[in-house]
Structure 1
Amino acid sequence: MSSFKLGFIINPIAGIGGSVALKGSDGMAMHALALGAKPKANERAALALEVLQPYKEQLSIYTASGEMGEHCAQQLGFNVNVVYQTQQVQTHSDDTELAVRALISEKVDVILFAGGDGTARNIANVVASEEHFQVPVLGIPAGCKIHSGVYAITPKAAGRVIELMVTKELVTLTTGDVMDIDESLFRDGIVKAKRYSEMQIPSELRYVQAVKSGGKESDELVLQDIAANVIEEMAEYDETQFIIGSGSTTAFLMAELGLENTLLGVDIVYQQALLCSDATETEIIESIEQHSGVTKLVITLIGGQGHIFGRGNQQLSPRVLRAIIAQEGGKNNIVIIATKTKLAELANRPLISDTGDNGLDQILSGFMPVTTGYKDQVLYQVATPQ
């Protein structure tokens, strides 16, 4: 079984100014310590990790040295991989950003961090870039200011959301705003919040939605929502070429585009026009190489089995898939679409990548977003064949 890779960062001085009435910690850590404040961020982070202790054998924690995560995770008995070494006694915002970059390079499944709005801003500086936007992030509230929508309600609640991911429950992927206030004004009694960015966050899935309950009519509405989401992306990224895989869900997308579809084959679409029907592996490779922009792949899964590669779509060979993920965007160039009903039929079994290339299957494993409606995604595990 693939190990869940949890990225973990603590801002050790987050919230340190609160207990001594500084109303924030940005640039005030030394002053707070001089006034007798005690760091609490590691204690808050430990409350979240304690929820995950029953799953020690199923996950590995990737973190920064010392009080930035290493000590907390080790004390709770987790398998710890230190991927960033801080060189400072008192950590700085630069340490947070460098640690995030190190976690991204390790391809962690999610980044769990403890801090406040300032910490969220530091993380968003890296994660919210287009290249890394698909890396989900979840905050453990530990700062003086928690205005951002990227935090769990409590530290234990943060642990519960990660627990859902580790145990392969369906977890909705939503967008949370990164907010912060002007601390200098706040200390004068003036609250002025500002939206700085947004990040994708995992949250508890709402399993029942009125338009997506059982029945043929609502199934069609769900497929329309999924198609609308993909078509909007096609319009937004006008220079992006789309390879459309086989299956009834992708066939519905092609029908919404008003294009002929090869139900059991692969089609190539550019600017919402059909470039190639029932394309071979060679034709797909040539199209990727000749196209000046990015090429994305839209696929669905085999119902009841969960295979996304290696069953009925051999045209999507390891060579094709490596060419797609080698482009800017990496794995994010693979767009998986499916209804939540179809995912629920898997009974928590992972999606399967069985390309015949073990190294590639390992790259594709981990949690990936699945588009399940309009502006609606869930995180779902992709695994290698057992």
Structure 2
Amino acid sequence: MTGPAVGLVVNPVAGLGGRVGLKGSDGAATQRRARELGARAGAAARAALTLRHLPGTELLTAAGPMGADAAEAAGRSARIVHRAAGPDTTAADTRAAVRALVAAGARLLLFCGGDGTARDVLDALGTGSRLPVLGIPAGVKMHSAVFAVHPRAAAEVAAAWATGRGVRLEPAEVVDRDEAALGEGRVGARLYGRLTVPVLPDRVQHRKTGSSGPDPATPAGLAAEVADRVGPDGLLVLGPGTTTHAVATALGAPDASLTGVDLLRLRADRTARLLLRDTRADQLRTLSAAPWIALSPIGGQGFLLGRGNQQLTPELLRTAGRERLLVLATEAKLAALAGRPLLLDTGDPALDAALSGHIRVITGRRSSAVYRLSA
């Protein structure tokens, strides 16, 4: 192997609750419930995808599901520098693995997980650590600014860092969902600290910014446009977020989830009935007709798919088709992206490529903008 040593730690249960609508994977009870609902862990596969695109570096990692399994799946040799205390790994195991990788000489730390894993890495290194860190996105939310936009992008950034070309090191925020904001009807993020991240333009995501909700007149206009497109008796899958929740309320379904994916049916009077709240992927898979899918990008980040809406599987998205994908955003939300594209990370590179391109974004009643959608 050549090049500086790269350390890898994988949170084996990251993202476990996404497909089954649990909105996260933290805690033994949530993980147990996710498995009861048929969830399967996917973090190792995400890490392996990064490693397949990152040749020529010495790899240090933890044993078994915390890294070595992903290295083996990618056909990579790795030096094991840490073993978990037991078969069921915990946040303490992640912190211990990070410290072991640093002690063994890792010059760049890759971690695979979500915001909870990012917080564990922060706890192990301390805020303001100068060791470069980069997240391979595998969780449910991933609001922090320490993640690559998808696993292949993580490999691109790490490879550029290893050669010293085109990468700058910047402090990046580690955040997690703000539960107090949720209680006030907003989807916000709480800052926990900062880590040093190697950055390539458009390959590392921005942090989520909070929202106080759209102007009161906007949801009614968005809802009217949605009703026009879907039509009477049409099925509507509505993604999470402040904007989409306000649209659901304007359609007469105020009990829709703020952070989950819901299924509604449009009525002849242009209102909607909530059929399923906080749906799971398996429930959406059994729909009798192709639904419309309405989503709003995450404020500040621009993610449309792959962050907090993993219930929308590649299979469902292909069934619905690009023509049934409704993108909803206020003009202010689009302006805040400063020209950066809306982002895709469905876990299916072929689908991401098929969905990419310019798409019409509904910004209000009889108002829209053409905006770029990219993987």
1:46 equivalenced with 2:48 (yes/no): yes
What is the deviation of 1:59? 1.4
- 1:186/1:114 CA distance change after superposition, 3 Å: farther
Matched AA of 1:88: G
1:96 equivalenced with 2:97 (yes/no): no
What is the deviation of 1:179? 0.3
1:166 equivalenced with 2:168 (yes/no): no
- 1:16/1:22 CA distance change after superposition, 3 Å: same
Work out the CA distance in 2 between the residues paired with 1:182 and 1:204.
28
Q: How do 1:20-169 and structure 2 match up within 5 A?
A: 20-27=20-27, 28-52=30-54, 55=55, 58-129=56-127, 133-169=129-165
- 1:188/1:143 CA distance change after superposition, 3 Å: farther
Work out the CA distance in 1 between the residues paired with 2:158 and 2:114.
19
- 1:30/1:23 CA distance change after superposition, 3 Å: same
Contact 1:172 1:205 in 2 (8 A): no
What is the deviation of 1:181? 0.9
Give 5+ residue unaligned stretches, structure 2: 203-375
Matched AA of 1:202: P
Work out the CA distance in 2 between the residues paired with 1:25 and 1:98.
20
Contact 1:180 1:195 in 2 (8 A): yes
- Aligned residue number for residue 14 of structure 1: 14
Work out the CA distance in 1 between the residues paired with 2:65 and 2:51.
15
Contact 1:24 1:183 in 2 (8 A): no
Work out the CA distance in 2 between the residues paired with 1:169 and 1:142.
26
What is the deviation of 1:167? 3.2
Work out the CA distance in 1 between the residues paired with 2:21 and 2:94.
25
Work out the CA distance in 1 between the residues paired with 2:71 and 2:201.
27
Aligned-partner SS, 1:104? helix
Work out the CA distance in 1 between the residues paired with 2:179 and 2:37.
18
Matched AA of 2:32: M
Matched AA of 1:48: T
What is the deviation of 1:188? 10
Give 5+ residue unaligned stretches, structure 1: 207-386
Aligned-partner SS, 2:199? strand
- Equivalenced residues, count: 200
Matched AA of 2:168: T
Deviations 1:171-215 (A, max 9, x none): 200111000015698699753420001000001279xxxxxxxxx
Matched AA of 1:65: A
Instruction: Kindly name which structure, 1 or 2, has the bigger radius of gyration based on alpha carbons.
Output: 1
The two structures have a TM-score, normalised by structure 2, of 0.50
Work out the CA distance in 1 between the residues paired with 2:95 and 2:67.
14
Over the matched positions of the two proteins, sequence identity in percent amounts to 40
Contact 2:7 2:108 in 1 (8 A): yes
Contact 2:49 2:74 in 1 (8 A): no
Deviations 1:141-176 (A, max 9, x none): 110111000001111101100111233424200111
Work out the CA distance in 2 between the residues paired with 1:161 and 1:191.
29
Q: How do 1:320-359 and structure 2 match up within 5 A?
A: none
Deviations 1:72-100 (A, max 9, x none): 11232222111110122221000000000
Normalized per residue, which structure has more helix? Answer: 1
Work out the CA distance in 2 between the residues paired with 1:98 and 1:68.
11
Aligned-partner SS, 2:58? strand
Deviations 1:244-300 (A, max 9, x none): xxxxxxxxxxxxxxxxxxxxxxxxxxxxxxxxxxxxxxxxxxxxxxxxxxxxxxxxx
Matched AA of 1:149: A
Work out the CA distance in 1 between the residues paired with 2:153 and 2:192.
25
Aligned-partner SS, 2:136? strand
Aligned-partner SS, 1:59? coil
What is the deviation of 1:31? 1.2
Contact 1:23 1:187 in 2 (8 A): no
Higher deviation after alignment, 93-102 or 76-85: 76-85
Contact 1:23 1:186 in 2 (8 A): no
- 1:101/1:75 CA distance change after superposition, 3 Å: same
Contact 2:127 2:194 in 1 (8 A): no
Deviations 1:312-356 (A, max 9, x none): xxxxxxxxxxxxxxxxxxxxxxxxxxxxxxxxxxxxxxxxxxxxx
